[in-house]
Every structure is written in C-alpha cells, then in structure tokens.
Structure 1
Amino acid sequence: MVATRERSLLPTEEPLSLLRKDGAPVTDSPLAMPDDDVLLELHRRMVIGRRFDTQATALTKQGRLAVYPSSRGQEACEVGSVLALRSHDWLFPTYRDSVALVTRGVDPGETLTLLQGGWHLGYDPYEHRVGPQCTPLATNTLHAVGFAHAARVKGEDTAALVLLGDGATSEGDTHEALNFAGVWRAPVVFLVQNNGYAISVPLSKQTAAPTLAAKGVGYGVPSVLVDGNDVAAVYAVVREALDSGGPTLIEALTYRIEAHTNADDATRYRTSDEVAAWLDRDPVDRIDAYLTARGLLDAARKAEVAAEAEDFAASVRAKLNVDHEYDPATLFEHVYATPTTHLREQAAALAEELA
C-alpha cells in the first residue's frame, strides 16, 4: 500500500527511492513499498516494454518505421506511472512514450502507426483513455490540464497524467499549464522524465534551478523529486499524486541509453563512460534483483516472462512487416470536421496531379 505523506510545495533535496541501484531496499524511505503482486506486474511489464523497444528500434533500421525514439533506460518512468493510473484516468504521452502506450493496452501496431508514417493517431483515444502522442514539445501539458479541469467541472472523478521530457520544461506551454493547474487545482500529474538531454542540449544549459521539481513552488503546485530508475518509487509517488485530487509536479531522474532517434549521433555530445554509469543503474535489473532476493522471482518465472516478451515482439514484427497501400487523398481526411475551401482546393490539385 502507498502511504499518505504530507504534501509539500518543495521537493526533497535527494530523490525519493525505495530500491537502491543493486536492488537492496531503502530502509528509511518515506514511501511505502507497493504490494508484491504490483511489484511482479511492474517487473513483467518492464521486461515486455524493453523487448518491444528493442524490436521497434530494429524495425526502424530495417526501414519499417520512419523514425523511432527509444525509451530504453526509462522503462521505470513509463511503466511505473502508467500502472499507477486508475482505469478511468487519462494518459497524455509524447513521441518517446510508446512503451507507456502498450503498457496501457494500446495495440503495438496502432501505437507505431505515427512513427511508421501512417495516420497521425492510429488508435482510439476513448477506448484506452490515451491522448494522441505529442510530437511538438509540451503541447500535451495544456491538453492534460484542460481535460482534468473539465472533468472536475463536470463532477467526474478523473485525473490526468501527462508525460514530458526535461526539454519540454523550457517551453512556454509548460509554464502556462502549471500555472493553470495551480490556480484551478486541476487533478493532473506532470511527470518530467529528466534524462539529462533535450536531444543534445544538457540540462545545465536549460535551467539554473537546483532541480526541475523545484519550479513547482512558483505555481503553488506540490512537487516531488524521485529516482526515475526505481519503478517501485515511481509507482508510489504517481499513485499518491493521483490520489491527492490536485496537481503535482514530479521530476524523475533517469537516462536515455540509446540515441535521441535513429537520426541522432549521441557520441557527439556524451561519453561512453557516462552511458556505462547509467547502465549500472538499470531499472529492470534493479527490480529483478529485489524480487529475486525476496524469493518472489525464480528462474521459471523469469523464463515465462521472457517468453511472453518474445511472443509480444513477434506480434510487433508481424504487424509491421505487412506492406500497406496508402491513398494520398487520405492526407486531407480528418483535418477538419467540415473541410475548408483551401483544403478542398489542395485535395483537388493533388487529385489532378496524380491523374
């Protein structure tokens, strides 16, 4: 069970955690360890999520995806936060959060439609309570706050979780979203996955604040600093924030192991030693070590989860290896409920050129 702590506008100086990097439990943490069945599910979903991520990366190299932003190393943030959601809550993800989408139950083929170059939104947002994957930085923060505020006005018990990166905190939309969330006391959780870089720009060139979480005080929004590679802690703080009924800013310290996308050369702005240091803090290995030490995870269960992850990867390959014929005319569908004059003219011009 997650304990109820006194909510503070200021985050702790050190990130909250429940598990050390070697999997040993933190004995003096103010957070309560999630139940064993939750921990096992967190482990299972992270193993599947990582296998999905590596498969999507491979498919990009094979030309089956136009681009893929890997989230390897950030699985604790995505899986921990999504599993903390209640069934009626909403998720507002970014382009790097495909693992979060499949964890929420979105079909992997539909999840990757955007990155394949097909429809911008390949899934039904109302079926899964997942907003469109946001490519422009921070615009989903305003969507989440508006949605959460509207839900409260309508008397609905619905909260919103919005995922964003450290680079998105430099955008004006994030300022506006946090400001409105604080004023309206909107039930929205901002989870900043601080992986150290906005593509190649390090955090030190983005802000002089001691932490990104410290910015919450300026908006009257309670803030939390958490170890983003500790899936138990991420789950605990997000669940606590959702249960609060108001806004929360969470900064999760994590790291992107792979390049920004397949078009990025990460060796130009970070060293191999830096990457190796973060590999030593791997979120999947951490929960694995903890569960193994407690006798909750044995070789048989590990093999079972690994086999399930392989089956999931095979299903992704099968969905992505199908060649589709696209009609260029569909570019103009679903842009407006009623097509504008300019849109009709452009569609007609394209049809004439194709003819």
Structure 2
Amino acid sequence: MNDLFESSLPADDLELVQLLTPEGERIRHPEFDVDFSPEQLRGFYRDMVLTRRIDVEATALQRHGELGLWAQLLGQEAAQVGAARALRPQDYVFPTYREHAVAWCRGVDPVQLLRLFRGVDQGTWDPNEHNFHLYTIVIGAQTLHATGYAMGVQRDGAVGTGDPERDTAVVAHFGDGASSQGDVNEAFVFAASYNAPVVFFCQNNQWAISEPIERQSRIPLYRRASGFGFPGVRVDGNDVLATYAVTQAALQRARDGQGPTLVEAYTYRMGAHTTTDDPTRYRLIEEVEHWKLKDPIARVEAYIRRNGLADDDFFAGVAQEAEELGEHLRAACHALPDPSPLSIFDQVYAEQTPELAAQKAGYAAFLDSFVEVEEAGHGRHETREVAR
C-alpha cells in the first residue's frame, strides 16, 4: 500500500526557465522569451554591479561598527534586478529586508537603506513616491500586505482595463524560509480566492538561515501554487534575462485580471544570511565554490563581451561608478546624525495617545536629569546625572 501511495506522487521536476547559461550562452525558451536590446543588457549589468557594491560596502560598514546589521544579497542580484526591471511605474512592491537591488531599481537612495540598518530611523523613503513599501522584518507578513493591496487595486478598477498606464500588478518578495510561514500560505488562499493581481516572487536561495530547503519542502516550491489553484514557475534566479521574462509575463497576467502567480527564482545566497550569521558552521565551502561558477554578473558580462555589445571603456566606466558609489555611501554613513532620543515616540500612532504622550514626557524629564560637562583644556565631553 505504501508503494501505491508513493507512486502517485508527482515526479521531481527541477527544470528551470533559462535564457542565459552560466557560460554566457544565449538560449531560447518556447514559452518565456524576450528580445533584449544592447542598452537593456548593459543596463542589467550596471544595475547588478552597482547593487553588489552597495552590498559589499554595507557589509564592510557593519564590520566596522557603523551599522547594527546588514542582510546580504550577494549572488541574488539577477533575481532582484530582473524582477524589478520588469515592473511598470504603477506596479507596487512589498519587499522583505533584503531587496536592496529592487530598491535601487525603484529609485530609493541606498543611503536611506543604511539609515534603517544603522538604526537612526525606521525607513525614510516615501513608499508612494517609489511604489516600493518599507522593509518588512516580520517573516512573511508582507505577502498578506501585498495581497490586501492587490485586492484594493482590483476594487479600484485598475485591473483588466486594457490601459497599460492604468492596469496595476503587485509583487510580494519573500524567501524560501518564509514559504513555511502561515502568513504566506494564508496570502496564497486569499489571493486565489479573490483572483488578486499579485505576483508572489520567492527568492529560493536554498538556506533559511541555517536550514536547507530540502528540510522545508519535499517538492519544488513553485509547485505548491497548484494546490492553491494558481500557476507557479521556476526560473534560474542567477539569469537576469530569464528572471525578467518570467516576471514580466506574470505581471502582465496579473494586470490583465488573470490572478496570482508564484515565481520561484532558484538562486543561491553566496554570503551570510545577515552579518550576525556564520554560514561556515552549516554549509560546505565546496557548495559555495560551485555556485560561484554561476555568478549572475559574470554570465552577463561574458555574453556582452562575446557579442561585442560593449567595449572595455564601458566596463571600466561601470567599475569606476561602483567605486565612487562605495565612497559616497561610506562618507554618507559616517555623516549620519544620531536621532533625538524622543523621536522614538513620533511614529508609533498616526495620532499620539494620552498614554504615549505621558511616556514621552516622562522620558524627556529623565533626559533632562543629565547635564553635559566639558573637560577643560581637552575638548572632551561626558554626561553626568544631576544630583537630586
């Protein structure tokens, strides 16, 4: 009887949608294919190089004590850039805490990301200006936010009108670890039930902190979608061209009123989960070295060079731009002012409650009990409590 049940399980289908091989060879796909201009290809390369520099610089800043934490995206640049560049201006994005490349593509100043991870504010970019929501730390919660927003878009009549400047799709980014959360599965239920115009974009980097994907799912993640009644597709997340093509198709499907899609971008976290993590404790060096051969930036560069789509001056220019961006981020981070201690009370409620006002007043009185004393002749300051 056990054999009978086992034989009824679907075969493990790991086929990826891929348009660019790790060696930089262009291939065609029968369902998902796009013709890219040289300008687009150079733009993808530039986006990935610059966002990798943002990531490397922020990691270094955290190691020097300038940031409290940083969530690395090393190795996931193609998944994020491809998905982001497939968006239209009116589309709305709900990120996790790792979508730095998506933020870049949506016009968010990376210094604002540093402010958040430095702890001087709770996110200062305007979500409505960029159609890019604030980072979500609670694992998987943003999928419900995205589904609710998509249902609102649907009820506002901004789906299926045929107007390319009006029809809107919503994207929820999350990781393979978050796919085990109840919030994500609830979002799938609501999105399917109401045919919401949302794309669930899962970056499967194969490690939920220290848990490998095989301990979370016995089937490929994209095939979970069929159980909820909407399509899923697995794309090579290290292939920016394929990621763009698949996401573009899923977004258009949502805008046309055909409902949700689950996109599983199969990629790899070459860095740590965050800067508090030591991945050498739970994964093999050989595994990381294997995935370095699939580097998303290297394959695009190989394709561009092989086809004569850019010269050495272009690549040198992007490298110089990345260096200047790193210097800018470093200087801007060092110059960030500390917030007023009382500002912690300002963003709790839209209208401050009497209880919160009383807490703020009490904390202000506590701060007033200290005085700053300058040590004569040395320019040094210290804070002392006033004797009561």
Is the TM value for this pair above 0.5? yes
* Cα 1:82/1:28, change in 2 over 3 Å: closer
Contact preservation (8 Å) 1:91, 1:130: yes
In the alignment, what sits opposite 2:115? 113
Contact preservation (8 Å) 1:11, 1:214: no
Matches within 5 A, 1:173-184: 173-184=183-194
Of 99-108 and 130-139, more deviation after overlay is shown by 99-108
Counterpart code for 1:147: Y
In the alignment, what sits opposite 2:363? 350
- TM superposition shift of 1:304: 1.4
- Using CA pairs below 8 Å that are at least 6 residues apart, which structure has the higher relative contact order? 1
Contact preservation (8 Å) 2:203, 2:264: yes
Are 1:202 and 2:212 counterparts?
yes
Q: Which residue of the other structure, out of 266, 271, 274, is the alignment partner of 1:253?
A: 266
SS of 1:189's equivalent in the other structure is strand
In the alignment, what sits opposite 2:376? none
Contact preservation (8 Å) 2:17, 2:29: no
In the alignment, what sits opposite 1:234? 243
Contact preservation (8 Å) 1:102, 1:111: no
- TM superposition shift of 1:11: 11
Matches within 5 A, 1:72-221: 72-156=74-158, 157-208=167-218, 210-221=219-230
Deviations 1:169-226 (A, max 9, x none): 0101101111111111111111100011111111122122x11101001111111111
In the alignment, what sits opposite 1:301? 314
Counterpart code for 2:360: A
Q: CA separation in 2, counterparts of 1:116 and 1:222?
A: 39
* Cα 1:293/1:29, change in 2 over 3 Å: farther
Q: Which residue of the other structure, out of 345, 360, 373, is the alignment partner of 1:332?
A: 345
SS of 1:190's equivalent in the other structure is strand
- TM superposition shift of 1:112: 2.1
- TM superposition shift of 1:12: 6.2
* Cα 1:11/1:176, change in 2 over 3 Å: farther
Contact preservation (8 Å) 2:115, 2:333: no
Contact preservation (8 Å) 1:83, 1:103: yes
> Deviation above 3 Å: which 4+ runs of structure 1?
10-13, 27-30
Counterpart code for 2:193: V
TM-score (ref. length: structure 2): 0.86
Q: Which residue of the other structure, out of 46, 49, 53, is the alignment partner of 1:47?
A: 49
Q: CA separation in 2, counterparts of 1:34 and 1:347?
A: 58
Contact preservation (8 Å) 1:23, 1:287: yes
Are 1:69 and 2:71 counterparts?
yes
Contact preservation (8 Å) 2:47, 2:101: no
Are 1:286 and 2:317 counterparts?
no
Q: CA separation in 2, counterparts of 1:112 and 1:11?
A: 41
Q: Which residue of the other structure, out of 331, 334, 337, is the alignment partner of 1:318?
A: 331
Deviations 1:137-191 (A, max 9, x none): 0111011111111011011222111110001101011011111111111111111
Of 186-195 and 33-42, more deviation after overlay is shown by 33-42
Matches within 5 A, 1:23-38: 23-36=24-37, 37-38=39-40
* Cα 1:301/1:11, change in 2 over 3 Å: farther
SS of 1:193's equivalent in the other structure is strand
Of 342-351 and 170-179, more deviation after overlay is shown by 342-351
In the alignment, what sits opposite 1:6? none
* Cα 1:28/1:88, change in 2 over 3 Å: closer
Q: CA separation in 2, counterparts of 1:29 and 1:50?
A: 31
Specify every segment of 5 or more residues in structure 1 that has no aligned partner in the other structure, as ranges: 1-9
SS of 2:265's equivalent in the other structure is strand
Of 133-142 and 317-326, more deviation after overlay is shown by 317-326
Identity between Structure 1 and Structure 2 (%)? 41
RMSD: 1.6
Contact preservation (8 Å) 2:127, 2:133: yes
- How many residues of Structure 1 are paired with residues of Structure 2 in the alignment? 345
Contact preservation (8 Å) 1:190, 1:249: yes
In the alignment, what sits opposite 1:273? 286
Specify every segment of 5 or more residues in structure 2 that has no aligned partner in the other structure, as ranges: 1-10, 159-166, 369-388
Q: CA separation in 2, counterparts of 1:283 and 1:255?
A: 10
Q: CA separation in 2, counterparts of 1:261 and 1:13?
A: 28
In the alignment, what sits opposite 1:21? 22
Q: Which residue of the other structure, out of 275, 279, 285, is the alignment partner of 1:262?
A: 275
Contact preservation (8 Å) 1:163, 1:192: yes
Of 76-85 and 332-341, more deviation after overlay is shown by 332-341
